[in-house]
Amino acid sequence: MAGFTSGADRVDCRVWLKYKANGTPSIYDDFNVASVTDHGAGDFSVIIDTDMSTASYCALATAGRHAGGYVNAVHVREDADPYSVGGIRFNHKFQDPTGSGPTLTDTQYMNVAIFGN
């Protein structure tokens, strides 16, 4: 596979998280996560326990279906620079079935994976 190396230069999943965002936020399970900061509805940061070596990593996130809704979208927050070696900030948006929105909202299941070195 092009670009794949072994040993110290390997690129692995360095952080993963299953997180409950609605109600009382809590971490279901994780690897290399120090904490999650809830900044308000649909806005959260993942604080990495052992920092990444650079802020040039790949962060992926998914959300569980919001009750009664059709579309969920999770994306890296649109700040000037949401990536840091010690964490990353995400937004979760929900499209209401009536067509209103999208609006920032919490959902029961958030999943995050960060790949890099």
Residues 39-69 pLDDT 10s:
998 899 999 999 999 999 999 988 876 566 5
21: left (phi over 0), alpha (psi -120 to 50) or beta: alpha
Are residues 39 and 104 in contact, defined by beta-carbon separation less than 8 angstroms? Answer: no
Q: Where are the domains of the chain?
A: 11-116
Lowest mean pLDDT segment, chosen from 26-35, 52-61, 63-72, 103-112: 63-72
Q: Which residue has the higher pLDDT, 57 or 2?
A: 57
Q: Which two tokens stand for residue 45?
A: 């940061």
Tally the residues of the chain: 117
Q: What pLDDT, on a 0 to 100 scale, did the predictor assign at position 2?
A: 47
Query: In terms of C-beta density within 10 A (0-12 exposed, 13-18 middle, 19 or more buried), how is residue 58 classed?
Result: exposed
pLDDT of residue 1: 39
Q: Which of 37, 34, 88, 32 is nearest to 60 (CA)?
A: 88
H or E segment at 45?
strand 43-48
In order of 14, 67, 89, 97, 98, the CA distances from 112 in angstroms are 11, 20, 11, 25, 28
User: Has residue 7 got a pLDDT over 90?
Assistant: no
* The overall pTM is greater than 0.85: no
Whether the pLDDT of residue 78 is over 80: the answer is no
Judge whether residue 15 has pLDDT over 60.
Answer: yes
